[in-house]
């Protein structure tokens, strides 16, 4: 049996933090390989290595038996590796044909042919903006076929599809497999994986924990493998006593309260609506429903007014909307509370363990991820928040900084604040939260108290399986 893609002891770290370690597996021609794992298990890193976004630190990749070291996405395309992305990567302002032949000469008859081969009876001159998500995905596949891709990678291909669109996709995947192409299928939808894949690889913490033919797996075994062994009873957090109700939320499909002295965790897969919830709470996006802070409605209030009433929001991306990268630590830390005294700034920086000499020295651009996150945290501490929303506060930072952030959360709730903690790392959520809400498709689908924390059960809720 010929193999298309082989990972051989591949490792990759970012800023000293390993993303994948010693990964070996093979995707064969004429078969579909399912790749499963929790958020952050290393799936994206493995696929980005294949797509030429970066090179491995150790180990090697092979493609059709030859050494494969793509240095750019273009090189990956030239070698016949194509991605069908989770966030569709077509230009909606161009036509189908223009998208398919983005880098080559426009060949309308060939475009029609390709569209027919994926079961789309549309004119190649149709603008992509007019297509449904499912149709766009088929155009992406047609684009992959236009370069005669031998390896196709599907990243969460069913999230935005209707049921008939999904069946059509599966039929097409069957046909591509029959043509002898190698397919890699990444999904959280485990029933789909068990249905259409021939082989399955389970990743956890950047390592392959199990792999084998589909017949070797059941739904339960997949989940157990993804989560790992039982983690033992989480240690009780000091000061975990619940006080008055701080925040009351009643939105479509989302109803909960946050109390003083409480850390409320929000679990869910990427795209389950956690960040959207945080943005609505903070007044960055319009919310349908009622949000009350200490009994007073927040309807129509700007983020500025919400900050004045005691809300704070550490966003998911420091670079995009957390920091002024070219400004100093002091300028960043005092952005939300501009009239802060120098002593107060120094105290806040000390309480997040930011070295004092950093205050005015350089642009925060030059700091490490961990120190950058501490700057954002110091900014919010200076507003003296009663409700702090943290969206992925430990993403991309080192272990020591993670521990500091955990400590700051503890201090805040001990001081009577309430914390809403969003994280993709289930272990972290379970370690820090008093209570967990699980979100799926923009709704809260379950709530678990600390005594009943169980990673398998939480993952089941997040995945939304009936079983």
Partner 1 sequence: MGREGAENTMTALPLILPAWRRRGRIIQSDAWVLALCGIYLLIAAPSAPELLSRQGLANIVSNALPLCAVTIGQMLVLITGGIDLSVTATIGLASVAGASAMIGGGTGLGIAAMLATGLTVGLGNGLAVARLGMPPFIVTLTTMMFGSGLAVWTTHSASVPGLPSSFMALGRPLVPLALVAGLALAVNHGLRRTVLGRWLFAVGGNPRTARVSGVPVAWTLIAAYAASGLCAALGAVLYTARLETGSPVLGQRIFLDVIAATVIGGTSLFGGRGTVVGTVCGVVFITLVDNSFTLLGLSSFVVLIAKGALILLAAVIDLLRRRHRT
* Among positions 172, 325, 346, 445, the unique one binding partner 1 when judged by CB under 8 A: 325
Residues binding partner 1: number (CB under 8 A): 28
Q: Counting contacts by CB under 8 A, is residue 348 touching partner 1?
A: no
Nearest to 89, CA basis, from 143, 167, 39, 35 = 143
Q: How far is CA 299 from CA 104, 274, 302, 385, in A?
A: 52, 20, 9, 19
| Cα separation, 160 vs 441, whole angstroms | 11
Which of these segments, 93-101, 125-133, 318-326, 406-414, binds partner 1 (CB under 8 A)?
A: 318-326
Secondary element (H or E) of residue 34: strand 32-36
Q: Counting contacts by CB under 8 A, is residue 359 touching partner 1?
A: no
194: tokens are 């068990």
Residues 6+ apart with CB under 8 A from 255: 249, 444
Nearer to partner 1, 307 or 426 (CB): 307
Q: Counting contacts by CB under 8 A, is residue 335 touching partner 1?
A: yes
Which of these segments, 220-228, 267-275, 335-343, 422-430, binds partner 1 (CB under 8 A)?
A: 335-343
* Among positions 21, 150, 168, 379, the unique one binding partner 1 when judged by CB under 8 A: 379
Nearest to 386, CA basis, from 338, 353, 354, 420 = 420
Cβ-in-10-Å burial (0-12, 13-18, 19+) of 431 comes to middle
| Cα separation, 318 vs 332, whole angstroms | 11
Which of these segments, 88-96, 225-233, 314-322, 427-435, binds partner 1 (CB under 8 A)?
A: 314-322
Long-range contacts of 353-358 (CB under 8 A, 24+ apart): 353/404, 354/329, 354/378, 358/329
Q: Counting contacts by CB under 8 A, is residue 323 touching partner 1?
A: yes
Q: How far is the CB of 455 from partner 1 (least distance, A)?
A: 31
Which of these segments, 264-272, 292-300, 323-331, 405-413, binds partner 1 (CB under 8 A)?
A: 323-331
Nearest to 59, CA basis, from 49, 48, 73 = 49
Nearer to partner 1, 89 or 366 (CB): 366
Nearer to partner 1, 272 or 383 (CB): 383
* Among positions 93, 218, 302, 467, the unique one binding partner 1 when judged by CB under 8 A: 302
List contacts with partner 1 (CB under 8 A): 282, 284, 302-304, 306-308, 313, 315, 320-327, 331, 334-336, 338-339, 363, 365, 379, 383
């Amino acid at each position: 049996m010929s193999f298309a893609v082989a990972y051989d002891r591949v490792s990759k770290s970012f800023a000293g933090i390993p993303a994948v370690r010693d990964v070996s597996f093979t995707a064969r021609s004429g078969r579909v390989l399912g790749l499963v794992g929790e958020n952050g298990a290393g799936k994206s890193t493995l696929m980005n290595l294949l797509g030429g976004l970066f090179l491995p630190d150790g180990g090697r990749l092979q493609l059709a038996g030859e050494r494969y070291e793509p240095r750019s996405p273009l090189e990956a395309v030239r070698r016949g590796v194509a991605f069908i992305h989770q966030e569709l990567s077509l230009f909606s302002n161009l036509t189908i044909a223009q998208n398919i032949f983005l880098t080559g000469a426009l060949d309308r008859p060939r475009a029609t042919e390709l569209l027919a081969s994926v079961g789309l009876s549309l004119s190649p001159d149709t603008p992509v903006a007019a297509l449904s998500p499912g149709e766009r995905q088929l155009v992406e596949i047609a684009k992959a076929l236009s370069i005669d891709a031998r390896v196709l990678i599907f990243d969460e291909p069913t999230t935005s599809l209707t049921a008939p669109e999904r069946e059509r996709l599966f039929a097409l995947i069957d046909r591509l497999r029959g043509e002898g192409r190698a397919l890699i299928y990444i999904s959280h939808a485990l029933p789909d994986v068990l249905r259409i894949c021939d082989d399955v690889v389970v990743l956890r913490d950047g390592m392959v924990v199990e792999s084998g033919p589909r017949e070797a797996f059941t739904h339960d075994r997949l989940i157990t493998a993804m989560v790992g062994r039982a983690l033992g009873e989480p240690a009780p957090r000091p000061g975990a006593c619940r006080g008055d109700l701080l925040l009351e939320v009643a939105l479509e499909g989302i109803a909960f309260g946050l109390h003083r002295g409480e850390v409320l965790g929000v679990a869910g897969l990427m795209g389950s609506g956690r960040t959207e919830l945080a943005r609505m709470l903070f007044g960055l996006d319009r919310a349908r429903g009622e949000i009350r802070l200490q009994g007073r409605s927040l309807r129509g209030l700007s983020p500025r007014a919400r900050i004045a009433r005691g809300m704070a929001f550490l966003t998911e991306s420091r670079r995009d909307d957390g920091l002024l990268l070219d400004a100093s630590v002091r300028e960043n830390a005092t952005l939300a509370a501009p009239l802060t005294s120098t002593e107060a700034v120094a105290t806040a920086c000390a309480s997040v363990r930011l070295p004092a000499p950093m205050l005015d020295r350089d642009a925060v651009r030059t700091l490490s991820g961990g120190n950058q996150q501490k700057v954002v945290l110091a900014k919010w501490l200076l507003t003296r928040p009663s409700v702090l929303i943290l969206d992925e506060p430990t993403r991309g930072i080192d272990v020591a900084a993670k521990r500091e952030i955990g400590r700051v959360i503890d201090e805040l709730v001990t001081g009577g604040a309430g914390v809403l903690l969003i994280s993709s790392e289930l272990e972290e959520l379970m370690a820090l939260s008093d209570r967990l809400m699980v979100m799926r498709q923009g709704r809260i689908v379950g709530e678990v108290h600390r005594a009943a924390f169980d990673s398998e059960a939480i993952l089941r809720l997040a995945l939304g399986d009936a079983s």
